[in-house]
Amino acid sequence: MEIIRNFGIQPVLLLAQIVNFLIILYLLQKFFYKPIVKLLEQRKKRIEESLKNADLIEEKLKKTQEQSVQILAEAQKNSQALIASAKGESEKIISQATLEARKQLEEILTQSQVQIEAQRKQMQKQLEKETLNLVVEVVRKVLERTLKPKERQDLTTKAVSEIEKQIS
Amino acid sequence: MESHVALAAEKIFSIGPIPITNTIFTTWIVTFILIIFAYMATRKISAVPQGLQNIAEVAVETFQDLVSTIAGDKTKVFLPIVGSFFFFILFGNYLGLLPGIGTVGFFENDGETFVPLFRSINSDLNTTVALALVSLIATHFLSVKYLGLGGYLGKFLSLNPIFLFVGFLEIIGEATKILSLSFRLFGNIFAGEVLLTTASTRLFAFIIPIPFYFLEMLVGFVQALIFAMLTLVFMVILTQKSH
């Protein structure tokens, strides 16, 4: 075993190196690989999760946008319908009001016509009466006497018919 | 006074009956630096990396990716072992390149022999054989763990005479792994030490050695990677079910 002696191999030294390396192995495993590998895994997981979340958020955002567009379109449709119905209603109201006003106007018109007619008739009657009195007075002054009831009657009828003929 | 690198590590002192060579001493320093680095990097570990944690994360993640391409779902078990081999050997090789390693020392035997205080850890066969032994034992341990004792033995023993012979060859192959792993690492680093020593004394001590230092940095990295990768491949092969 000359060669072993030449290379300086001694069991004690071998053992010392083995123990030394085992200590290194243990310490590195505990303080180096384990925490770092764990950290790397955690980070990987977290990145994966956040990427997934980002995808989800993007999808949600897209959906929300679509929804908002839909809602907006619906609102527009609704408002248009509302405006149209309001317009129809207002037109109806206006036409109704116009109609009513016209009716009222006509009513007033007819009423006033009736009134005017009545007034005219009354005035005519009064005129007749006054005319008659005047005639009677004139006759009395001319004839210097009062008319007999018979004459009076005749005269009056005659005058009235004459007047009536003139008025109408 | 010519300095030359001795094949065996020199004893610098002893604790009781245990001789402490300069390699053991340097190994302690490497261990200390490695552990301090690991401790500092993960002391205030947080989701948002800071300072040393960045370096540690890059190192672990790169190595994890590398291991997972070969080991697949066994990465979590293999990574600490393979990674430790890599970082320990790498730190050891690079520390051995620092000035003062191999040159600072004292004389023994009335100034006849020079004993350096530090020595690149992998230029001592004790270290590399120890690493190879750990690698091999860990590999076989994991094989038993993954395949069960029956599956593990089935890899080497068989009733079929042809497979029995193949299994016998495999056993020899396992033994040679120790030799190949340890001597490859030792040879490369020791040769590097010799090269650098020669380049900086015999040839010319200024400027000329610089390219060799770059070469040795490359060799140091490559050897660490080779040792780690071979261990990984051995582990993957031995933990696969035989067909």
Residue B2 lies in a domain: no
Which chain B residues touch A9 with a CB distance below 8 Å?
A: 125-126, 129
Contact criterion met (CB < 8 Å) for A36 and B57: yes
pLDDT at B197: 82
Average pLDDT over residues B42-51: 80
Q: Which of B31, B50, B84, B142 to mutate to test the interface with A (most CBs of A within 10 A)?
A: B84
Average pLDDT over residues A100-128: 93
Tally of domains in chain B: 1
B186 burial level (CB within 10 Å; 0-12, 13-18, 19+): buried
Q: What is the DSSP string of B85-116?
A: HHHHHHHHHHHHHSTTTTTSEEEETTTTEEEE
Of B83, B126, B130, the CB nearest to A8: B126
Residue B72: pLDDT band by 50, 70, 90 thresholds?
confident
- pLDDT at A31 exceeding the cut of 80: yes
- How do residues B107-166 score in pLDDT, each as one tens digit? 877 777 778 888 888 888 888 999 999 999 999 999 998 888 888 888 888 778 888 888
CA distances from B146 to B128, B198, B238, B239, B240 (A): 27, 48, 9, 6, 8
Minimum distance, in Å, between the CA of residue A52 and any CA atom of chain B: 19
pLDDT at A61: 95
pLDDT at B242: 66
Domain coverage including residue B40 = 11-238
Contact criterion met (CB < 8 Å) for B84 and A10: no
Residue B221 lies in a domain: yes
Count the Cβ atoms, other than its own, within 10 Å of residue B225.
16
- pLDDT at B103 exceeding the cut of 80: no
Q: Which of B62, B97, B55 is nearest to B220 (CA)?
A: B97
Contact criterion met (CB < 8 Å) for B88 and A21: yes
Identify the closest residue of chain A to B26 by CA–CA distance. A17
Residue B1 lies in a domain: no
Q: What is the DSSP string of A146-159?
A: PPPHHHHHHHHHHH
Residue A73: pLDDT band by 50, 70, 90 thresholds?
very high
Residue B6 lies in a domain: no
- The β-bridge relationship of strands B11-15 and B18-21 is antiparallel
Task: Kindly state whether B45 is in contact with chain A, defined as any CB-CB distance less than 8 angstroms.
Answer: yes
Residue B197 lies in a domain: yes
The per-residue pLDDT of chain B, averaged, comes to 85
pLDDT at A1: 67
ipTM of the complex: 0.83
CA distance linking residue B58 with residue B63, whole number of Å: 8
- pLDDT at B1 exceeding the cut of 50: no
Contact criterion met (CB < 8 Å) for B130 and A35: no
Residue B4 lies in a domain: no
Which chain A residues touch B76 with a CB distance below 8 Å?
A: 37
Which chain B residues touch A42 with a CB distance below 8 Å?
A: 47
Task: Kindly state whether B76 is in contact with chain A, defined as any CB-CB distance less than 8 angstroms.
Answer: yes
Which chain B residues touch A49 with a CB distance below 8 Å?
A: none
Identify the closest residue of chain A to B137 by CA–CA distance. A18
Which of A84-98, A109-123, B112-126, B216-230 is predicted least confidently? B112-126
Residue B23: pLDDT band by 50, 70, 90 thresholds?
confident
